[in-house]
Amino acid sequence: MTVVSRLSSMKARHLLPEQDQREIALHYVIGVLCVLACLAALIVMASDRAARGWAREIRAEVTVQVRPTGLESGSVAAARAAEVLAGVKGVGQVTALEPEKAKALIKPWLGDAILDDLPIPNLVSVRLDDKAPATVKALTDALISHDIDASIDDHSVWLKDVEQSALTIRLISIGIFFIIFTATAAVVGFATRAGLTARATIVEVLSLCGATDLFIAQRFQYRFARMAFESGLLGAAIAAGVMAVIKATGSSQSFALALPFSWLDLLILLPCPFLVALIAAVTARIVTLRLLGGKG
Amino acid sequence: MAQINEKKQLASSVTGFLPGDDAVVSFDNVSLGYGATSEADYILKSLSFQLPAGSFHFLTGPSGAGKTSLLKMIYLAQAPTSGRISLFGETVSSGDRAQVARLRSKLGIVFQEFRLLEHLNVFDNAALPLFVHGQSFRQYRDDVTELLTWVGLKNQLQAMPHVLSGGEKQRLAIARAVVTRPTLILADEPTGNIDYAMGLRIMRLFVELNRLGATVLIATHDESLVRASGMPVLELKDGHIVRRDLNTTVGGRL
C-alpha cells in the first residue's frame, strides 16, 4: 500500500483540535445544568398531575351544612337533607356526617374539655357524579323545595388555592428553565470566546486561506453543538435515573401524593439534548460571527 | 493617444511600473499610523505604487521600516489609516468581511514562523485552502500530492509538522500558499528561520512560481539573498519607498 493510498479525507470537525481541559469542564457544567433542567421538568409534570388530581377531588365533592328548623333535631335534619340530595340528578354518594364523628375529627385540636359545649354543625357530604355532576343551583333548589335550611360549600375557595398553587409551580418551573437555559447559553458563549482565543492561530490561518467568517463560525457551532448534545444526553439519563430511583424506592403515600411520577414523564426528557445542542449552536455561531466581525 | 502614452511613461518613471488594468496591487497615497495622531509618527507615509501582474519583487528595508505592516495591508489584516488600496482591480472597503474572504482566496501567504496547523498532517495542511473552498478529497488528492512532491515532501505526506525541519516546514507553508494557484504570493521573511542554502532553494521555488504566472512580493532583510538573486527591489525606509527597481530581470540569477 502506497503512502498516497493511505491518505484519508479531512473532516471539517478536524479543523479544530480535539478537546482540552476547558472543554471537559464545559461538558461537566452543561451536564449538570441539563440534570437540573430535566429534574425541574419531571417535577413540574408530577406536581401538575398532583394539582390536577387534588382539584378533581375537590370539584367532585360538596359539603352541605344543615340548620335544623322548628322541633327537628340536627341529626334528623341532616338525614332528611341527605335523602333529598340523593335524589338529585348528578349526585353520587351522599353521607350525613354524624355529630359524634364530627366531634372525633376536631377532638385532637380542642381536647375533651370544651367539646360538649361547642355547637357542632350538621354536615352532609355529597359526592358528585364524575361525568355529569349536579350544579350547586340544582342542589340548592332541591333543598329549598323541601323546606330545608342549608348552605352549600362547593370548596371553590380551596379549588382556587390549589389552582393558584399549581399555576405558581408552573411559573416557577418555567423561570427555572429560563434561568438554566440562559445559563447554558452564557456558559457556551464564554467557552466560545475562550475557544476562539485559544485557537486564534487556527482561526487566523483559516481566514488567511480565504475562509469566510461563516465557515469558521460553523466549525465552532458544530463543535459546541455536539458537545452540548452529549452533555444533554448524559444529563437527561441521570435525571431519568433519579426519577426511576424515587419511583421505585420512595413510594410512600405522602411522597406519591405530592409527586406522582409516571413512566410516561420520561418522554419529556427526549428533547433535552436537542434543545441544549440548539442553544449551544446558536450561541457559538452568534458569538463567533460577532467576534470575527469585530476584528474588521 | 500620444498624451496617454506620455502619461504612462511619466507614471513608469515615478513608480517603476506601468499603470493599467493589470495591476494586482495598487496603493494610492496610503498611510498607516497605528493610532498615531501626527503624520510624522506614522509607520508608512503616503505610499503610492502598483504591482503589475506577473511581477516579482523583494520588499526590503531595515527592521521597523514597515515591511510586515505593508504586507498586512495587502493581505487585509490591517486597514490603512488613510489612502486607498486596490487588489485585483477591486477597491478594498473597510469592514467588508465577505470581500476580505473573497480577495484572500486569490492570495497565497507565507510567514517566517510558518503558521502550520500542528494537529493536521503535512497533506492536510497543504490541502487546507482547497478544503476551505469546498473541494472534496477526491478532487484535490492528486493535485496536493503532486505539489508536495514538487516541494520535496512526498515521503512525509502523513507526517505531523512537529517532526519536520525548518526548511521542510517552510516548503510545506509554500505548498499551502500556492495550492490554490493564487494570483498573488506574499511572503514575510520566508527564509528567516532556515539556513542560507535552504533559503536559496526556497527562493528558487518562488521564482519558479513567478515563471508560472504568479505575482510575487517577498519581504526580507537578507541583503545577501537579495543580491544573490538579482531580482527587483522595493525598498522601504522611514515609512517611504526609497528604491524601486523595474521588473525587467524576471528570473534574475536564480
Q: In what order do the strands lie in the sheet with A91-97?
A: A91-97, A122-128, A61-67, A149-153
Band of residue B143 on the pLDDT scale cut at 50, 70, 90: very high
Q: Does pLDDT of B19 surpass 60?
A: no
Rounded Cα gap, residues A44 and A258, in angstroms:
11
pLDDT in tens, A177-194: 789 888 888 888 888 888
Query: What is the overall mean pLDDT for chain A?
Result: 84
* Contact (Cβ atoms closer than 8 angstroms) between residue B198 and residue B166: yes
> Do B101 and A211 count as a contact with CB atoms less than 8 A apart?
yes
For the record, the C-alpha cell of A23 comes out as: 472543554
> Do B115 and A201 count as a contact with CB atoms less than 8 A apart?
yes
Q: Rounded to whole angstroms, what are the CA distances from A165 to A39, A44, A49, A160?
A: 19, 12, 12, 8
pLDDT at B11: 35
> Do B157 and A3 count as a contact with CB atoms less than 8 A apart?
yes
Q: Rounded to whole angstroms, what are the CA distances from B220 to B58, B186, B243?
A: 7, 11, 15
**A174 vs A115, higher pLDDT:** A174
Band of residue A270 on the pLDDT scale cut at 50, 70, 90: very high
* Contact (Cβ atoms closer than 8 angstroms) between residue A276 and residue A30: yes
CB < 8 Å from A in window 43-82 of B:
75, 77, 79
Of the candidates A93, A103, A99, A95, the one whose C-alpha atom is nearest the C-alpha of residue A134 is A93
Number of domains, chain B? 2
Of the candidates B139, B142, B138, the one whose C-alpha atom is nearest the C-alpha of residue B154 is B142
pLDDT in tens, A211-229: 999 999 999 899 889 989 9
Answer yes or no: do B80 and B117 share one domain: no
pLDDT at B6: 44
Q: Which among B120, B132, B158 has CB closest to A210? A: B132
Rounded Cα gap, residues B238 and B42, in angstroms:
9
Answer yes or no: do B67 and B187 share one domain: yes
Is the CB of residue B160 less than 8 Å away from at least one CB of chain A?
no
Q: Domain boundary at B152, B181, B210, which? A: B181
Report the residue of A1, A5, A7 to disrupt the B interface, i.e. the one with the largest count of B CBs within 10 Å: A7
Q: Which among A15, A201, A293 has CB closest to B97? A: A293
Residue B5 within any structural domain of the chain = no
Is the CB of residue B198 less than 8 Å away from at least one CB of chain A?
no
> Do B104 and A212 count as a contact with CB atoms less than 8 A apart?
no
Rounded Cα gap, residues B58 and B70, in angstroms:
13
* Contact (Cβ atoms closer than 8 angstroms) between residue B72 and residue B111: no
Q: Domain boundary at B144, B161, B181, which? A: B181
Rounded Cα gap, residues B95 and B74, in angstroms:
15
pLDDT at A71: 77
Answer yes or no: do B100 and B202 share one domain: yes
Band of residue A166 on the pLDDT scale cut at 50, 70, 90: confident
Rounded Cα gap, residues A44 and A172, in angstroms:
9
Q: B212: helix, coil or strand?
A: coil
CB pairs under 8 A between A and B: 76
Q: Which among A17, A210, A296 has CB closest to B119? A: A17
Q: Rounded to whole angstroms, what are the CA distances from A200 to A274, B83, B108, B209, B217?
A: 29, 29, 19, 30, 26
For the record, the C-alpha cell of B206 comes out as: 518562488
**Residue B155 with chain A: CB contacts under 8 Å:** 3
**Residue A288 with chain B: CB contacts under 8 Å:** none
**Residue A293 with chain B: CB contacts under 8 Å:** 97
- Strands (DSSP E) contained in chain B are 23-32, 44-52, 56-60, 82-87, 90-91, 107-111, 184-188, 215-219, 233-237, 240-244
Mean pLDDT of A222-239: 92
Answer yes or no: do A48 and A188 share one domain: yes
* Contact (Cβ atoms closer than 8 angstroms) between residue B219 and residue B189: yes
pLDDT at B26: 94
- State the residue range of the domain holding B89: 23-106+182-254
Answer yes or no: do A37 and A168 share one domain: yes
Answer yes or no: do B89 and B196 share one domain: yes
Q: Report the run of H or E that residue A162 belongs to, with start and end.
A: helix A156-198
Question: How deeply is B168 buried, as exposed, middle or buried, from its count of CB atoms within 10 A (0-12, 13-18, 19+)?
Answer: buried
Band of residue B115 on the pLDDT scale cut at 50, 70, 90: very high
Q: Does pLDDT of A21 surpass 80?
A: no
Q: Domain boundary at B162, B181, B200, which? A: B181
**The CATH number of the domain where B75 resides is what?**
3.40.50.300
Q: Domain boundary at A147, A182, A208, which? A: A147
> Do A209 and B115 count as a contact with CB atoms less than 8 A apart?
no
Query: What is the overall mean pLDDT for chain B?
Result: 85
Q: Domain boundary at A113, A147, A181, which? A: A147
Answer yes or no: do B188 and B251 share one domain: yes
Query: What is the value of ipTM here, to two decimals?
Result: 0.81
Residue B11 within any structural domain of the chain = no
List the single residue in A with minimal CA-CA distance to B136. Answer: A9
> Do A296 and B94 count as a contact with CB atoms less than 8 A apart?
yes
Residue A191 within any structural domain of the chain = yes
Name the phi and psi angles at A93, rounded to 5.
-100, 140
Rounded Cα gap, residues B41 and B50, in angstroms:
24
- State the residue range of the domain holding A80: 70-147
